Structure formats: C-alpha cells, structure tokens
Structure 1
Amino acid sequence: MALLTDILIGLIAALHLYFLYFEMFAWDTIGRKTFKQIPPEVFPKTKVLAANQGLYNGFLVAGLIWSLLIEDHHWSFYIAIFFLSCVLIAGIYGALTASKKIFWIQGFPALIALILIHLKW
C-alpha cells in the first residue's frame, strides 16, 4: 500500500510538472492544443497569467516531491496531506469554474492518494 501511495503521489507531481511546463514555457503551443475552446488570439495576451499559474503548479510539485523525500513518517504524512489537499481543492475549483474534466484529471487522483495515504497510516 505504501509503495502504491508513493507512486501515485509521484505521478501527481509529474502531472503538475507537465502543467508547469506548458503553462510557463509552451502556452502558445501545448496550451492552444489543450484549451481548444479558447480563441487563438487570447493566448499571447494571457501568456504571463498562464506562467503565473505554472509557477504555482511548481510549488505543488515541490511539496509533493518533498513529502516523498522526508524520512520522518509523521512529517511525510502531514506534508503529503497538505499538498494533496491543495491539489484536490484546485481540482474542485477548476471543475466548478471551468470544466468538470479538470476534477477527473487533477482532483480525482489527489482524492485517491489522500484515501490511500490514510489507509497507509
């Protein structure tokens, strides 16, 4: 169970690392392909905003990876809960304000990881 939880946390961190990359460095290319419902002329105007979002995703990546590297079981548990909860809340907010798909891509894996981490405890 512990290995499965750590793998899921690692996958969630990798997913957010991908978000960081395309929001900060590939907004005009991958961003356009990802968000087809947004008119193409909007992307150059929102590049700085997207980069800001990418930076926040980087903080989530840092926290999730940190939780995997902490040797103290209690600290690792609490740090993972905090950052997974942040991801879950972001996924719920995205589903409520933008697209339900965001919950399934971002929030649902975090919810599963939170359940698994509590079973691991």
Structure 2
Amino acid sequence: MQILTLFLVALVALEHIGIAALEMFAKPEQQAKAFDMPLDFVKNDHAKVALANQGIYNGALGLLILAMILFFTGTTLKIIMILLMLYVIIVAIYGAMTATRKIIFLQGLPALIALVFVLFFYR
C-alpha cells in the first residue's frame, strides 16, 4: 500500500505540473475553458502575466512534491506529504470559493484521497 500511496501523491504532483503547463503555455481558448474564465480576460496581457506567474507556483509545487518523494523516507516523508496534501486541499478550497467550484473536485479531491492514503497506509 505504501507504493500505491506514493503513486497517488505523485499523481497530485503531476497534476500540478500539468496545470502549470496550461497556465503558462496553453492557447487562450484552452485556458479560458480549463479555468472557466472569459476568453477576453485570458487574452488580456495582464491576465497572461498573472496566469504565467501562477503557473510557476503550480509547477514548483509539483516538482517539490516529486523531489520530496525521491529524497526523503520514513516519518520525515510522511510528515511532508501530509503538510503538502493539506496545503493543496486548502488552496483548492480557496480556489473553489473565489474562482470556480470545480477546483475542489479537480485539485482538492485527488489531494484528499492521497492524504487519506498517507494517513492510513504509509508507515
């Protein structure tokens, strides 16, 4: 079950790297659809910069999660996984309240499932 737990946490990381790619490199039409934003807004230069900036953070979070899986073990890894999954859940709740409700399902739910696995199956 520990391998499955690490796999689920890694999927959360890969999801954030994918979100970063969307925020930084996708066409405005894809971004508008993915993030439930008006196309006019996404095409705005200020919005492009803000999305790219947000993409850097999501990409860094994804890479950090993957790195901690590779560099830590045991109790240290468990604590870091718990903290990072809680962080993702909190950010997803905030995003659901301020941007679009689907964030809670697309980002929060996978992190919640991974958190449950970390708490109950990672020793």
Question: 2:78·2:118 contact (CA, 8 Å) conserved in 1?
Answer: yes
RMSD (Å) for aligned C-alpha atoms: 1.6
Q: Higher relative contact order by CA 8 Å / sep ≥ 6: 1 or 2?
A: 2
Please tell me whether residue 108 in structure 1 is matched to residue 109 in structure 2: yes
Q: Which residue of 2 aligns with 1:43?
A: 42
Q: Which amino acid is 1:21 matched to?
A: A
Distance in 1 separating the partners of 2:79 and 2:67: 11
Q: CA deviation at 1:28?
A: 1.5
- Superimposed CA distance per residue, residues 61-105 of structure 1 (whole angstroms, 9 cap, x where no aligned partner): 122102211243122112212221111111111112222211011
Count, aligned residues: 120
Q: Which residue of 2 aligns with 1:78?
A: 79
Identity %: 38
- Superimposed CA distance per residue, residues 23-70 of structure 1 (whole angstroms, 9 cap, x where no aligned partner): 0111524202323x5322211221000011111101211221022112
Any stretches of 5+ residues in structure 2 without a counterpart?
none
Any stretches of 5+ residues in structure 1 without a counterpart?
none
Task: Look up the SS of the partner of 1:38 in the other structure.
Answer: coil
Task: Look up the SS of the partner of 1:75 in the other structure.
Answer: helix
